[in-house]
Structure formats: structure tokens, C-alpha cells
Structure 1
Amino acid sequence: MPEKPATIAAYAAGASLAAITLFYVFGPNFTIDGEDSNISGRKKGIVGLSNPANDCFINSVLQALAGLGELRVYLIRELHKRDLEGAEIYDALPPAEDLRAGQDAEKVQKLQLAPVTRALKDMLDGLNERPIYKKTISARAFVIALELAFRTRISRSQQDAQEFLQVVVERLCDEYHAGERARKRALRNKLATASTSLPMANGSEELSKEEIDGENASAAMPTIELAHAESVTESENGFPLEGMLESQIECQHCKYKYKPKQTTFVNLTLQVPQKSSATLSSCFDGLLKTEFIDDFRCERCQLIYTLEQKVKARSRTSSEKTQELLSNEIALLKNAIENDPEIIPEGVTMPSPSEVPRRKIAKHMRITVFPKVIAIHLSRSIFDHAFSTKNAAKVSFPERLALGGILEKKWYKLLAIVCHKGSHNSGHYESFRRNHVYAPFSTPDAFRSYAQSRSQSQNPSTFPSPRMKPSSSSKQATDDITPLNMSPVSRSPSTTTSTSSFPAAGGTPTDTATTSSIPSRPASGQAQMSAPHLSPEQPRSHSQSQSMSDTQSGVPDRAPSTSSSSIRRHIDAALPGDLLSPKRDSTSTRRNNAPTPSPESPRPSTSSRFRWKKKPNERWWRISDEKIRECKTTDVLNMQKEVYLLFYELERPSDEA
């Protein structure tokens, strides 16, 4: 009896220790991943970057890049692809015939290894952690990888954030293209080896036509595979910040249009107008608007002027030899004017450049390839004779940016900006990034293979298993029931139609017009029928559709007419009551006499009425060296005087909805 209090105390101590252990183990995970984590009073934050020197230009750019989801997807896919292919593809030196003019084989090999790409992925993964306490990491590892790649040191004095961004993204783009060329070269060598190892027929043996056709097809397979591999464009999984600009010149005198010149870009530099306020659209006008330039020497006008001078000289001369020489030059000039005026023909004496008349031209520029992520640099530098100043004009920028023409309009969403406070020669950078919580980059469906994986077999059917509610009717009543006619072909003119919406196998609601033909029941032995209950949220499987089509053969082609009230009772039994709105009840009688549309005709889905509109994310992180704090979209859009770099991401079709 005296030992009972000690036993109770021991049990209480053990239970307390177990509770503390459970909270210590599962408490942090529940705090991060729990459903109530968003409404908890816990102060949240993101991982910051330390600034041992003047590294704010590095930290601000890295924080902005960490908020770009398309860039992170690219880094994951690219490194995963390299791991699948093997390191031997990228360790090999490229042959001399594959090198461009002025390229070094060792430098190309280092680009193939992609050290900066790997370092940036590790850096962005660290910045996108979800810490449960204040956490700060260093960008030193990424800076060292960048210095080793360029064999130079990055100065710790105050630098420009745009120049650092330009160096980083250009290096990433070069590593991507070097790796892509290495993969194509390895595939070409593999197919060449496979084509040479094909079994060759002995010359003494006679082959049948089928064998000859089979060997020809086998020999053509490597060529077909190589052409297919080279025809696959990189627009789907290419470098997300790479786009293409096209510029073209048109002479206003002879109306000749020069051949368009295409140049790639990884960021766009826009000049800020020298006035108190401007918009981002007006800055784009300075780049993409038609520009008129005077005092330009047009090649076609130069050839026309030379042709006129040669014709006049031939008419004035009396020497046959000179006339023959001028006639040959006139023929060459006419041929060049008609075919390619940009190339001066050989063997023609051209006049002095000072004698050629100058013309007015129009320069057109447009974006032909829109990148997934567009980085915009607002140039605020004003250069005078001996000094430079900063343009402090206010530039208003939208949250959603529209680029392109009317027929090819692209919408971009603002994800991050970098601001600069101070003068032209000194100051401080800080970044704003949208508080996005991206889903884990994994396979969304456990039964589907990853896009970059190598599957050995085809996937099974993606149709889900049917989920039918149990019917309350007895077996005898079920045997006496005539199956419903679901075919619109065997529908009689007196039948009544009803429409229901079922989602497709992929989970997307699709609209199908279902025609129900209900025959009359005999007076004796009539059984109460329970219609197959299929919820609109449940997708119709392939087996159900097959069973419905199989039962149509036993249904008569003509059925007696039924009243709308009996049809309504069967519809009420088949569909839930919350999906039958009064508006549908009032219009169901008028639809009876209307012609039934085909199953392919689109109709508004019932489930789309109850779809809630996705609330836009208004939370941002304002990141500086001192602290990290939350802000809203309005606070970001008000940074008109300090904005320096903008990062927009191309909207997906799901985002537009």
C-alpha cells in the first residue's frame, strides 16, 4: 500500500516524458505541414543570405532567381537528364569540326560539365527551404564556382546587379547549349555505330524482295531516328530565360526590305525616358517601336545609282571595248538588283561612298521567341561629357504584362523585382519575391512515368475503377427491368431527353448529352426501378460505357411515349437533388420538343458552376541585409522610383483560368 504513490508518480513521469518526446518529434512537422499552419500565430520567414562585404548586388539577384519556378524546373530537369545520360558524354572533348571559329576544346568541355548550373541549383534549393527558425546561409560556394568557371576574381567593391545577372544567365545559357550539342553528338555517334554494325548480305546470295525491303528499312532507321532527334525543338524544355529578337530595315526610298537579323537575348535592357514619370509600356516602345533613321546608305539604292551612271557612261563613249565592258557591268548590276542587292557583284567598279545618295530607313524590331521567364533591366544611367548620373524617374509597371501582337499575345506575371536606393556610383540593393509555395517537383501520378525517365513498358489504362453505389433493388426486380436505351440513334420522336454532365477520365468535366428512352411497363408484375446512381464527381469508366453499349441490342427501336412527370421522377432518382436548380426545372419542359444536340456539341458543365475562383496570391517577401519582412502586391507596385530589375514569368493556361 505505501508503494502506490511511488508507482503513480513513476507512471506520471513516464507519460509526461512520452508526451514531451512525441511533441519534440512530431511537433515541427505538424507546424510546417499541418492544415492550420497558415492561420497559426507563428512568425514565418525565408532563408536569408549573409553579407560579409558589399555583396548586396549578389544577394538580391540570387533571391530574385530563387522565386522563379520555371528556372528551378529547368535546373532539376537538366541535371536529372545529365545523370541519366552519364558523365562520359560530357567529359569527352568535342571534335575540331564541331568547334566554332575561335573556340577552345577545353573551354567547351568545361561548359559541358555545367559547374555553374549545379552550383546555382544547390544555391536555390537552399534559399527555398522552409525554415522553422531564422536561418541565414552564405553565397560563397556559388561565388567560388563562378570564379573558377571564369578564372577570375569577383571584386568586393560596389558592383552593378544587372552586370552580375548578365554574367550568370549567359553562363547558364552557354552550359545548356554545350550540353545539348554533346548529347546530339553522342546520339549521332551511337546511331552511326548501329548503322555500321547491321548484318551485310553476302554478294553470292540472292535476297528476296521482302528481305531487301527489310534491310533497307533497317538501314534507314538510324537516319530517321537522327532526323527525329534533331527535329525536336528546344522550346519546350529549353533555357527558360532565352528569347529571340528579330530586326529588319526598310528603305523609305526604294521600299527594299533587308533580310531580317535574329539575335538571342537572356535579358532585355530598356531605356528609361528622361522625364518625371513613365510606364513600362513606354519603355518597351523605345525598343520595339518603329525607329526612323536618316543618312543611311542603302545597298539597293547604291546599285541603282551605279547602274544609272554606267548607262550614261556607255551612251557617251564611242569605244567598242569600253561599251562591251560597261554592258557586262550593267548586266551584273541588274542581276544583283533583282536577286540580292545586299551583295555587291564582283567585277563592277563602284563609285565613291561620298557620291552615293543617303536615304531614310525604318527599323522594325519584334520578339519572335518569347521566353518562359523574361528579365527586364531598366537602364537609369544618364551619361554626360565627364560624369554620369542616375535617372530618378518613376516607372509604373503592371502585375500582369502583355507582350506580342493581337494574334499571338502572351501574358506574363510578375514574380520578383530588384530595387536600388542611392546614387549612380553607390547605394544599396534589395529584392522582392512573391511568396510562392510550389508543389514538390515529383511525379504527379504514381502510375505514370516521369517525363525524362526511360520506361520499359507501356503504362496501363489510366481510366479509374468505377465507384458505383450499391443498389437497393432485389435480384428479381433487377432481372425484370428492361435496360435503358442510351443510344441517340434508336431514340423515337416521342422520347424525352435529359442532359447530364460527367467528368472525363482525366478528371476534367466534359459535357455529354445522354438520351434516356424509358419503355412502358406491363400492368402486372411491375417492379420499382432504381436507376444506376452515378455521381457527377465520379468519372465514367470504360467498362461502364461498354456495358451500356452492350445492352442496347436488347432494347426495341421504338418505345411508347412517356409523360414529362414520369421522366422527371427518373431524373430525380438518378441525380442528386442539389444539382437540380430551379432554372433547369423551368426549362426542362421546353427542351422536350427541341432537337437533341449531338454528343460532341459543347454544353456548360454543371460542376463548373460550383467552381470557386482561385484567390490571387498577394503575399511578398521584402529582403534586405537588415531583415526580411512580408508585404503586399500594392507595396511592390509602389516601388516605381527604385525599381531596377523585373522578372516576369509566362502564365500557364491553368493560371489564366
Structure 2
Amino acid sequence: MCLHCSNTPLPQGLVGLRNLGNTCFMNSILQCLSNTPDLRDYCLRNTHRTDLNNNCRAKAALMEEFAKLTQTLWTSVSSEAISPSDFKTQIQRYAPKFVGYNQQDAQEFLRFLLDGLHNEVNRVTVRPRLPAEDIDHLSDNEKGKKMWNKYLEREDSKVVDLFVGQLKSSLTCSECGYCSTVFDPFWDLSLPIAKKGSGEVSLTDCMRFFTKEDVLDGDEKPTCCRCKARRKCTKKFTIQKFPQILVLHLKRFSENRVRTSKLSTYVNFPLKELDMREFASENSMNAVYNLYAVSNHSGNTLGGHYTAYCRNPALGEWYSYNDSRVSPMSSSQVRSSDAYVLFYELASSSHSRL
């Protein structure tokens, strides 16, 4: 049943977005972000204005339009779908690749949008030049904290508070055993879809594929810091710091010289209690997540369509967002082979609001 076909007043957050012409990729991501509780509250309470004022930024139109759109989605008493045209004007000023009405990639759009929002509400107004430091004598845990604090000295916003985690890359020389580590911030994790001879593929399979040890040999050989020569090495990713909101991108699209193809593999993912502790660099008690939104892509690379499935944070029920149409759905319908970008929230964060 489409909610907008009835004349009864709608609960908040159940308003659709008009398709302006192949803008379903944008609508899908906007609905997922609108159902991100702490980001929604940041906009509804106008807390973003404090950050904008503190930064004295003249160019803050993207954050303002995003906040305005979120506020309308959550305060509208009308069942009419909203036009996101003012928001689209601002996102294409920030990222000209979104000018026009061509179909775009939802995950790529999400990255541009979060980057734009962060830049406008960054609490750091003048990014300091950070001198290089010798941190080789520190433990990996201390190195990770040091690098995270350095990152926050330049990039510090509500958007970072919610979405950014830290990835640890370990490179081990097979000749001398020396292990070097690099720590990088991440906004999302792009997971290759695991291939299995039989049985279904799970999200944990994809995470294991992403974090599996890779051998770097031949032309890929890096230079070992201790040997001072190119050596065969093994490389492995682990998660050093888990974000409050974990965005997982299933890599369904692959490109070659001729064409782009799509994998429609069904990936089984949990709606509750996604346990990420096996992928932690250090022992972590705080790495269990609950799903609250999915951006879906149906169809193929030539003629596809994006929708969103979101768990309404006020009602605790799942809804399907298909541009201007919003419909209730069962949680059993959330998993499908169309799932493309998964939004998870730390269980400790969601429990604190219950």
C-alpha cells in the first residue's frame, strides 16, 4: 500500500522525493541519510547553524539545503512528495559531475555529499601544517591514536564524528619479517563480492575477502624499510577504529575496456547484530552493528533504478522509498540481490536512544 494514496495524516519521515529526471540515485541516498538519527537531529535542532556560524563561512549553501530538505521530510504535514531541486542546484555547484540528469552512481554521490557537508561544518577553520614525526618506536595502538588525533587536527565535524573510521594496513616482509603499518581514515568500505562454489554468500564472507592477506610479488613488490630492497610482502587490512555509522558498499559494478557489468549475487546480511570484532586490529568490545538503511539498485548498467529501504527511527518500522512513493514493508523483505549500499549503526548508539 502506498501511504500517499490515503488522506490520513502521515507519521514524520515518510515523505517521498520527486524524481527530477534520473535522480533516483540522489533520492535513495537522501532518504538513507534522513533516517540516520544523529544526522537528522543535527539538522532538526539547527545545531549545524552553530558550526556554520563558528566557521564564518559565506559558502555554506549545501549544508543549508541539506538541512532544509531533512527538516521538511520530518516536519511536513502534507503527503505530497517534495522536490529536491534546490538541493540539486547546490550539490552540482559543489560537484559539477552531477550537473544534468544522467543516471549516476549512488555510492559515489554519497561520498561527494558527505565530503561537501563536512567541509562546510568543519570545526577546523585553518588547517595546520603538521610536521612529520618519527612514530616507529610506538606500539601499533599508540600509532593509530596518534594518526587519528592528527587527522582530527585538520578534519573535525559532526559528519566525521558519525561516519569516519580508521583502517590499518600491515605490510610484512617475507624475507626479514619486518612489519610496517599505515593508518588511514575511511568514510565507507568497498567490499568485493566473494565467490563461492556452492551456498549463499554472506556479508561476513565479503568482509573476509576484503581483509584477507594478499601476497605482493613480481611487479607489485614494495621496498622493505629494513632490507632497503624490493621484497615479496604480505598485505592485510584490519579496522583500527570503528565509526558510529558503518557504510558498506557492495562492489556490484566492474569496468573493463569494453563495458561495465553488474554482479547480481545475493549477499545475505544481518539486520541486527552484525559482529565486526573479528576484523578489529585490537580487541574491541564496541563493534556490533544494527542495519537501518539500504540503497538498492535494480536492473542493469544500461537501465537501472535506485530505491531505499529505511527503518524509521521514530517508529522502528521499515519503509520502502521509491522516489515519490513511500510504502510500509516487512523486515523480511529488506534483504535482496539489489542491495548496494548498507548503512549500519553501532548497537550501543541505537540502544542509548531506546
TM-score (normalised: structure 1) = 0.43
Which residue of 149, 163, 173 corresponds with 1:241?
A: 163
Which residue of 231, 244, 256 corresponds with 1:359?
A: 231
Letter in 1 for 2:242: F
**Distance change in 2, residues 1:80/1:422 (3 Å):** same
Alignment pair present for 1:82 and 2:51: yes
- Residue 276 of structure 2 is matched in structure 1 by 403
Secondary structure of 1:136's partner?
coil
Q: Would you say the 8 A contact 2:17–2:324 is kept in 1? A: no
- Residue 320 of structure 2 is matched in structure 1 by 622
Alignment pair present for 1:66 and 2:11: no
**Distance change in 2, residues 1:267/1:385 (3 Å):** same
Alignment pair present for 1:414 and 2:291: yes
Relative to its length, the structure with more helix (as a share) is 1
Q: Would you say the 8 A contact 1:419–1:429 is kept in 2? A: yes
Letter in 1 for 2:258: A
Alignment pair present for 1:142 and 2:87: yes
Q: CA deviation at 1:160?
A: 1.2
Alignment of 1:198-597 (within 5 A): 238-258=160-180, 260-274=181-195, 277-295=200-218, 296-300=221-225, 302-303=227-228, 359-400=231-272, 401-404=274-277, 405=280, 407-409=283-285, 410-437=287-314
- C-alpha separation between the residues in 1 aligned to 2:80 and 2:38? 25
- Residue 51 of structure 1 is matched in structure 2 by 19
Q: CA deviation at 1:407?
A: 3.0
- Residue 652 of structure 1 is matched in structure 2 by 348
Q: Would you say the 8 A contact 1:70–1:372 is kept in 2? A: no
Gaps of 5+ in 1: 1-40, 92-109, 186-229, 304-355, 439-616
- C-alpha separation between the residues in 2 aligned to 1:385 and 1:141? 37
Secondary structure of 2:50's partner?
helix
- Judge which range, 369-378 or 67-76, deviates more: 67-76
Superposition RMSD in Å: 3.1
Q: Would you say the 8 A contact 1:413–1:648 is kept in 2? A: yes
- C-alpha separation between the residues in 2 aligned to 1:145 and 1:382? 30
**Distance change in 2, residues 1:181/1:380 (3 Å):** same
Q: Would you say the 8 A contact 2:254–2:260 is kept in 1? A: yes
- C-alpha separation between the residues in 2 aligned to 1:157 and 1:135? 25
**Distance change in 2, residues 1:77/1:411 (3 Å):** farther
Letter in 1 for 2:50: K
Alignment of 1:155-166 (within 5 A): 155-166=100-111
- C-alpha separation between the residues in 2 aligned to 1:386 and 1:184? 43
Letter in 2 for 1:266: W
Q: Would you say the 8 A contact 1:176–1:239 is kept in 2? A: no
Q: CA deviation at 1:383?
A: 3.3
- C-alpha separation between the residues in 2 aligned to 1:282 and 1:115? 41
> Higher Cα Rg: structure 1 or 2?
1
Q: CA deviation at 1:411?
A: 1.4
Letter in 2 for 1:241: F
Note the alpha carbon deviations across 1:26-58, whole angstroms, 9 max, x for none: xxxxxxxxxxxxxxx957462111113111111
Letter in 1 for 2:213: T
- C-alpha separation between the residues in 1 aligned to 2:156 and 2:208? 29
**Distance change in 2, residues 1:135/1:128 (3 Å):** same
Q: Would you say the 8 A contact 2:202–2:267 is kept in 1? A: yes
Letter in 1 for 2:284: E
- Residue 635 of structure 1 is matched in structure 2 by 333
Note the alpha carbon deviations across 1:168-221, whole angstroms, 9 max, x for none: 0121223333xx222899xxxxxxxxxxxxxxxxxxxxxxxxxxxxxxxxxxxx
TM-score (normalised: structure 2) = 0.77
- C-alpha separation between the residues in 1 aligned to 2:302 and 2:21? 17
- C-alpha separation between the residues in 2 aligned to 1:385 and 1:184? 40
Letter in 2 for 1:148: R
Q: Would you say the 8 A contact 1:432–1:636 is kept in 2? A: yes
Q: Would you say the 8 A contact 1:57–1:160 is kept in 2? A: yes
Letter in 2 for 1:126: T
Q: Would you say the 8 A contact 1:170–1:266 is kept in 2? A: no
Q: CA deviation at 1:245?
A: 1.1
- Residue 145 of structure 2 is matched in structure 1 by none
- C-alpha separation between the residues in 1 aligned to 2:294 and 2:119? 24
Q: CA deviation at 1:646?
A: 0.7
- C-alpha separation between the residues in 1 aligned to 2:31 and 2:223? 48
Alignment pair present for 1:181 and 2:124: yes
- Residue 331 of structure 1 is matched in structure 2 by none
Q: CA deviation at 1:129?
A: 2.6
**Distance change in 2, residues 1:234/1:146 (3 Å):** closer
- C-alpha separation between the residues in 1 aligned to 2:89 and 2:158? 31
Alignment of 1:1-80 (within 5 A): 42=8, 44=10, 46-75=14-43, 76=45, 78-80=47-49
Q: CA deviation at 1:644?
A: 0.5
Q: CA deviation at 1:386?
A: 2.0
Letter in 2 for 1:434: R
**Distance change in 2, residues 1:239/1:425 (3 Å):** farther
Q: Would you say the 8 A contact 2:291–2:342 is kept in 1? A: yes
Q: Would you say the 8 A contact 2:224–2:231 is kept in 1? A: no
- Residue 66 of structure 2 is matched in structure 1 by 120
- C-alpha separation between the residues in 2 aligned to 1:423 and 1:152? 21
- Residue 137 of structure 2 is matched in structure 1 by none
- C-alpha separation between the residues in 2 aligned to 1:415 and 1:161? 17
Q: Would you say the 8 A contact 1:60–1:429 is kept in 2? A: yes
- Residue 146 of structure 2 is matched in structure 1 by none
Secondary structure of 1:281's partner?
helix
Note the alpha carbon deviations across 1:98-144, whole angstroms, 9 max, x for none: xxxxxxxxxxxx6xx4332222111111112353x522111111111
How many matched pairs?
311
Secondary structure of 2:177's partner?
coil
